[in-house]
Every structure is written in structure tokens, then in C-alpha cells.
Amino acid sequence: MTKMTLASYPHMLGFEQLERLLERTAKAGNEGYPPFNIEQTSEFSYRITLAVAGFSEDDLSITVEDRQLVIRGRQTDDNEGRVFLHRGIAARQFQRSFVLAEGVDVGEAVMENGLLHLDLSREKTPTVVQTINIKKG
């Protein structure tokens, strides 16, 4: 069986970059931690919320590189001398990645009650109609 790609469709011109983005997203390997929500807050804005209970602002880093939003968390080990009878609160490092479409900008990041909120906005692109003149050959 042959793998179908966007290049396999003759009417899909110039979508090679989209195909690379889809492959990169599939390889991101987002397991399930930390859980997150993505909501549309208006026609041109979104909010990603991650449940990061136990992490402080200093334990988290947020970067955007090549249209990939990466949130990393690493907790410092302050459990010396503590004996846990049950440990149900996750205390492990994580990395969560999101591929951003062109024109999506990351705005403010706010920590509130163990939730990290990231606001994203997308610029409205005007509809462009172009008329192509036909020359006589």
C-alpha cells in the first residue's frame, strides 16, 4: 500500500509545507500530561489552558520557534526528609508542543489557581481577488 501525500493530488499545489507541519505534529508525541483545553475565545483568538498544579512560574518555560509553541515544566526536588504514604500529585517534567498556523501570535501567559493560560490571536487576512490578463500569443 502506498502512502498518500498532498503531492499525490495534482490540484493541491504548494501544500508541501502543510504536509511537513502535519508530520511534525504527528511526531510531537503528546502523551497525556499535563491535560489541556483549547478554546476559541472570539472569531480571531484562542486560549490554551494547561493544568500545571504544583508548578510555579519559575518551573515553566514557554518558547515559540519556527511556528511551534513549546511549553516545558521542570520541578525542583524539594522532598528531602519527606515520607509520602501516597503520592498522587504528579511531579515530573513535561513538554507540550503545539504547531501554530501562519499568522497566529502568542500573547499573554497567565498562571491562575494551578492553571496556565496562554492567549493566542490570529490576524484577519483580507480576501484578495486577483484578475489575470491573458496575452495574445
**CA torsion through residues 47, 48, 52, 53, sign:** positive
Flag whether pLDDT at 6 surpasses 70.
Answer: no
Interval 17-53: pLDDT, tens = 777 767 766 665 556 889 999 999 999 999 999 999 8
**CA torsion through residues 62, 115, 96, 93, sign:** positive
Residue 111 is predicted with a pLDDT of: 97
Beta bridge partners of 61: 72
- Average pLDDT over the chain, rounded to an integer: 85
Residue 82 is predicted with a pLDDT of: 85
Residue 87 is predicted with a pLDDT of: 80
Residue 109 is predicted with a pLDDT of: 97
What cell does 105 get? 501570535
Distance CA 56, CA 71 (A): 13
Domains detected in the chain: 32-78+87-122 (2.60.40.790)
Nearest 10 degrees: CA dihedral of 107, 108, 112, 115? 30
Flag whether pLDDT at 125 surpasses 90.
Answer: no
Flag whether pLDDT at 124 surpasses 90.
Answer: no
Give the residue-averaged pLDDT of 108-119: 97
Q: Whats the size of the chain, residue-wise?
A: 137
